[in-house]
C-alpha cells in the first residue's frame, strides 16, 4: 500500500511539476535558437550573440544579486539578533502573532503596502509635511522606484525576517543552545563569546542552505521589483518579462535567451548546493 502511494505521488510530481517545467524549458530553448517563433526563420545564434554582446543581462544579474544579498543578509542578521536578544518574549502569544503575521502576507501586498508608506505621495511623506519637516512632498527622500532599491530591500526584509525568526527559534530549541550557553557561562565565557562562538555558528550552520535558497528566491523575485523597482537597471525577472512582451517580435527571442541563461544558472546553483549537502552528510 505504501509503495503504491509512493508511486502515485511520484507520478503526480512528474505530471504536475517535472513535465510542465521540461516543456516550458524546451520551448524557451527552441525559441532562443530561432527554431520556432512567428518571425524566426530557422536555427541561428544571432539572438544569443546579441544578448551576450550587450551588457543589459550582466548588469541586471549583478544588480539583482546585490539586492538579493543585501536583503538576505539584513533579514538573517535582524532575525538572529531578535532571537538571541528577545527569545523569552516569544512565549507571549500576542507578540508571536504580531511577528509571524507577515508570513501570511503575499509579496505583492507587501510591495503595495511599502509603496503607500514610503512613496513621495505616501503616508510618511504626508506626515512629514503635516509636521512641517518638509515644505513639499518632493522633498521627502525617494525610497521607492529609487536607484538604491531601498523600497525593494525593505519589503524583502519584512517578508523574510519573520520566517528566519521562526526558523532560528526552532533551531535554538532543537540544538539545545540554551544548555550549551549555560555550560559555556559556567566555564567563564561572557555573553559576547557565547553568542559569537556557540550560538551563531550552530544556527548559521543549520540554516545555510535555506539562506542560499532564499537568495536564489529573491534573485528571481518579480512582483516586488515590478512595483517598487526603477526603470533601469531592472531585476532579472522584470527584465526577462519585459523582453518577452516586446511589441517588436524580433526581440522576443532575446527574452527567451535570458530566460534560458537564468534557468541554467539557478539549476546549476541548486544542484551544487544539494550535492555538497549530500557529500557532507555522507562524510559524517
Q: How many CA atoms, within 13 angstroms, populate the side-chain half-sphere of residue 249?
A: 7
Q: Is residue 40 part of a domain?
A: no
Residue 254: all three cell numbers together: 532575446
Q: Is residue 25 part of a domain?
A: no
DSSP structure string for 254-282: HHHHHHHHHHHHHHHHHHHHHHHHHHHHH
* Rounded Cα–Cα distance for residues 235 and 284 (Å): 39
**Burial class of residue 240 in the structure, from the number of CB atoms within 10 Å of its CB (0-12 exposed, 13-18 middle, 19+ buried):** buried
Cell 534560458 maps to which residue? Answer: 260
Q: Is the pTM higher than 0.85? A: yes
Q: Is residue 68 part of a domain?
A: yes
DSSP, res 15: I
pLDDT of residue 4: 64
DSSP, res 17: I
Q: Is residue 193 part of a domain?
A: yes
* Strand, coil or helix: 41: coil
DSSP, res 99: H
Q: Is residue 70 part of a domain?
A: yes
For 145, list phi and psi in degrees, rounded to 5: 55, 35
Sign of the alpha-carbon dihedral angle for 104, 121, 220, 153:
negative
* Rounded Cα–Cα distance for residues 222 and 241 (Å): 9
| CATH code of the domain in which 95 resides | 1.10.3720.10
Q: Is residue 178 part of a domain?
A: yes
DSSP, res 16: I
Phi-psi region of 233 (alpha: psi -120 to 50; beta: other; left: phi over 0): beta
Cell 512595483 maps to which residue? Answer: 227
240 lies in which domain range?
A: 54-282
How many separate domains does the chain show?
1
Q: Is residue 187 part of a domain?
A: yes
pLDDT of residue 168: 94
pLDDT of residue 9: 75
pLDDT of residue 68: 96
Cβ atoms < 10 Å from Cβ of 111: 26
Going residue by residue through the chain, which has 284 residues, state the pLDDT in tens, using 9 for 90 and above: 556 666 777 788 788 888 888 999 999 999 999 988 877 888 889 999 999 998 899 999 999 999 999 999 999 999 999 999 888 777 777 777 787 788 888 889 999 999 999 998 889 998 998 888 888 878 888 889 888 899 999 999 999 999 999 999 999 998 888 888 888 888 888 888 888 888 999 999 999 999 999 999 999 999 999 999 988 889 999 999 998 888 878 788 999 999 999 999 999 988 888 787 666 666 55
pLDDT of residue 3: 62
pLDDT of residue 280: 63
Q: Is residue 172 part of a domain?
A: yes
Amino acid at each position: 500500500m505504501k509503495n503504491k502511494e509512493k508511486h502515485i505521488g511520484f507520478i503526480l510530481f512528474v505530471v504536475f511539476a517535472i513535465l510542465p517545467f521540461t516543456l516550458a524549458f524546451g520551448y524557451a530553448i527552441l525559441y532562443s535558437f530561432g527554431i520556432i517563433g512567428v518571425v524566426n526563420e530557422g536555427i541561428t545564434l544571432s539572438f544569443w550573440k546579441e544578448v551576450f554582446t550587450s551588457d543589459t543581462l550582466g548588469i541586471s544579474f549583478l544588480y539583482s544579486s546585490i539586492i538579493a544579498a543585501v536583503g538576505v543578509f539584513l533579514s538573517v542578521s535582524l532575525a538572529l539578533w531578535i532571537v538571541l536578544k528577545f527569545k523569552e518574549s516569544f512565549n507571549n502569544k500576542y507578540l508571536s502573532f504580531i511577528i509571524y503575521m507577515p508570513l501570511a502576507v503575499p509579496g505583492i501586498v507587501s510591495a503595495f503596502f511599502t509603496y503607500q508608506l514610503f512613496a513621495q505621495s505616501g503616508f510618511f511623506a504626508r506626515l512629514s509635511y503635516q509636521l512641517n519637516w518638509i515644505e513639499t512632498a518632493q522633498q521627502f527622500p525617494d525610497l521607492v522606484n529609487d536607484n538604491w532599491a531601498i523600497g525593494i530591500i525593505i519589503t524583502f526584509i519584512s517578508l523574510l525576517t519573520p520566517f528566519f525568526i521562526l526558523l532560528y527559534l526552532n533551531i535554538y530549541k532543537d540544538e539545545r543552545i540554551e544548555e550549551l550557553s549555560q555550560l559555556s557561562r559556567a566555564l567563564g565565557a561572557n555573553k559576547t563569546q557565547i553568542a559569537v562562538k556557540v550560538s551563531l555558528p550552530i544556527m548559521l550552520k543549520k540554516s545555510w542552505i535555506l539562506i542560499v535558497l532564499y537568495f536564489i528566491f529573491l534573485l528571481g523575485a518579480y512582483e516586488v521589483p515590478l512595483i517598487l523597482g526603477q526603470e533601469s537597471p531592472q531585476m532579472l525577472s522584470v527584465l526577462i518579462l519585459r523582453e518577452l512582451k516586446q511589441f517588436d517580435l524580433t526581440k522576443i527571442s532575446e527574452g527567451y535567451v535570458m530566460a534560458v541563461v537564468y534557468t541554467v544558472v539557478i539549476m546549476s546553483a541548486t544542484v551544487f548546493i544539494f550535492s555538497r549537502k549530500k557529500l557532507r552528510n555522507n562524510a559524517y
